[in-house]
Structure 1
C-alpha cells in the first residue's frame, strides 16, 4: 500500500468512494462526498494535506485536512479540520486509517499547524490521541453534540491556550 497526495484525476473516484464508504459509517450525514467537493473549491483547501491510500492501483482510503480558524476575544489562530477519513469497507481493520492519520499528522506538523479538529466517533479517534474539543476550550456553534467534536494538539508548539470558537464548514 502507498500513501500519496490526491490528484485531480482521482476526484471522481474519491467522490464515489466516499459516498459508498459512508453508507456504513457510525457518524455521518450522507453528504460527505459533497462536503469533499465543497472543501476542494474553498479557499481553505490544502492540496498538500489531501491523501489517498492506494493498493494495486485502487484507492482504498482517503483523508483531507482543510484550514480553519479558532477565534476568541484576543486572537485568531489557524487550525485544521480533518474531514473526512474514509476507508473502503473491505479494508477496515487493516491499518489503512492509521496510515492515513499518521501521514496527515506528520505533514500537518511540517507545515507548522498545532491543532487538528474533526467531527467523528470518539471511540474510534481516541486511539489517535483525539479528545473532546471542549477539553481544550474549543467550541463550535454547530448543533452537534460535543462528544462528536474532537481535537488533538500536534507538533512541538508553545501554544497553551487553544480556547475559542472554531469555524467548521458544513
Structure 2
C-alpha cells in the first residue's frame, strides 16, 4: 500500500530533485563568475531525455528493438521511488492483522542519472577563459526557480487531493 502511495509522488519528487540539482549548478556558475578559467556548466536535457528513453525502450530507440513485444511502461531508474520492499517481517498478533514483509529502501537514482553535464558555450568569451555570462545565468536561475515552484505546487495539490479523499470517509 505504501509503495503504491509513494509511487504516485515519484515523478513529482524526481522532477524537484532534478530542478534542485540544476539550481546548484547555476548558483555555482554565478558564484564563479570572476574565477579565471572557470567553465559554466548545465544539464544537457536532450542527452538526458535520449538516455531515459533508451532505458525504457521507447519506440525509435535501440533498446526498443531488444524489448520488442514488451510493454513500454517500465519506470525510469531515476524515477524509482523510495519504496517499501520485502525484507523485514511484521508481527501479526491478531487474526485480522495483515501478514507481510516490508523494508524501506532507497531505490532512486543518483545525480548521474540526470544526464551528463555539459559546458555552456559562451556568447562572448572572456580573456581569462571564464565562460560564465551573468545575464544568461540569472535568467536560467530565475526560470529554474519558477519551474521548481510550479512543480512544488503540483505536488502539494496532489497531496491535498489525496488527503481530501482519505478524510472524506468515502
Q: TM-score normalized by structure 2?
A: 0.24
Name the structure where helix makes up a greater proportion of residues: 2
- Pick 1 or 2: higher relative contact order, CA cutoff 8 A, min separation 6: 2
Q: TM-score normalized by structure 1?
A: 0.24
Name the structure where strand makes up a greater proportion of residues: 1
